[in-house]
Amino acid sequence: MSRMKIALAGIGKIARDAHVPALMASDAFELVAAVTRHEPPEGARGFRSISEMKAALPDVAAVSICTPPRGRLQLIAEAFDAGLDVMIEKPPAATLSEARQFADMAARAGCVLFVTWHSRAAAAVEPAKEWLRGKEIKRVEVSWKEDIRIWHPGQSWIWEPGLGAFDAGINAFSVLTHILPGALTVEDAELRFPANKDAPIAADIRLAHAHAAPVLAAFDFDQRGPQTWTIDIETDGGRLALSDGASAMSVDGEPVRLDGGPEYHLLYRQFQALLEDRRSDADLRPFELVADCFLLGRRKLVAPFEDF
């Protein structure tokens, strides 16, 4: 069977680190083009816009968007106009009002939209959801702390008005909204803004959960040394601990053996399944929680951030 021709838009850190290798390993997709202002990945042709690409390569059927969140509406509209199916990186957009248009745009165009949450593809996520089924949740603690210098080196967009530390924290929200039964709502948040930046570098959040358990989350973008991406859940049936961004799991301190490969390999297999069914997947709950943190959150000014 011939592979579906796909393009990447935005060849930055995540495109090179994760999307290109996943597509190279895929037997469903063939990376033939890139919409980029710079060099395309090896073996792909470079174009300045989606319409230019579609005119030159009419058999490209899908585009995977890896640009920063600002500007997605235009790119996605252009993709649907060209009749392309679309997969997008998290966070889905710069604003909720923008992101809320995407699913209708896809339906009107008769195209498939996949709003991805790569952390949901981590190996422990489905086993954790299964383990939690039927248990009473007593307490949830999230610690999502990483060094922005490692994960967003030299990127100016990350400090523009916008998500800041929630760019990483939204991954924790994507896991929580998937594995916890029932709804989550933001009760309280403190957002800490460096005096010289327009986005928060850290946040502490308290969420209410449908089952009344307190859910506490701490996000930090200035974590030196070991990086921390953990979710601890106390239940009436034991204690679940997710670590390494939900790629590892233990129950009452005992590690659980997990299957599963790289997150982005699974994301592209999920996209392939959506394309086969001609079905979209556009869950915005993690992004809504982030927006609510900005609506309710107290803002605190902290020391200027230095990029070294």
Residues annotated as catalytic are 90
Question: How deeply is 39 buried, as exposed, middle or buried, from its count of CB atoms within 10 A (0-12, 13-18, 19+)?
Answer: exposed
Q: Which is nearer to ligand NAP, 93 or 213 (CB)?
A: 93
Residue nearest to ligand NAP (CB): 12
> Which backbone phi and psi does 124 adopt, to 5 degrees?
-90, -5
157 binds ligand NAP (CB under 6 A): yes
| Min CB(162)–ligand NAP separation in Å | 10
| Min CB(151)–ligand NAP separation in Å | 4
**Mask: binding to ligand NAP, 20-59, rule CB under 6 A, as x and -?**
----------------xxx---------------------
Q: Which is nearer to ligand NAP, 67 or 247 (CB)?
A: 67
* Distance separating alpha carbons of residues 211 and 134, to the nearest angstrom: 11
Q: Which token pair is 52?
A: 């230019």
For residues 233 and 178, the answer to whether their CB atoms sit within 8 Å is no
307 binds ligand NAP (CB under 6 A): no
Segment 67 to 86, residues that bind ligand NAP, using CB under 6 A: 67-69, 71
263 binds ligand NAP (CB under 6 A): no
Helix (H) or strand (E) holding 179: helix 166-179
* Distance separating alpha carbons of residues 65 and 295, to the nearest angstrom: 27
Beta strand 29-35 with 202-209 is: unpaired
Residues lying near ligand NAP in the complex (CB under 6 A) are found at: 10-15, 36-38, 66-69, 71, 89-91, 118, 151-152, 155, 157, 167
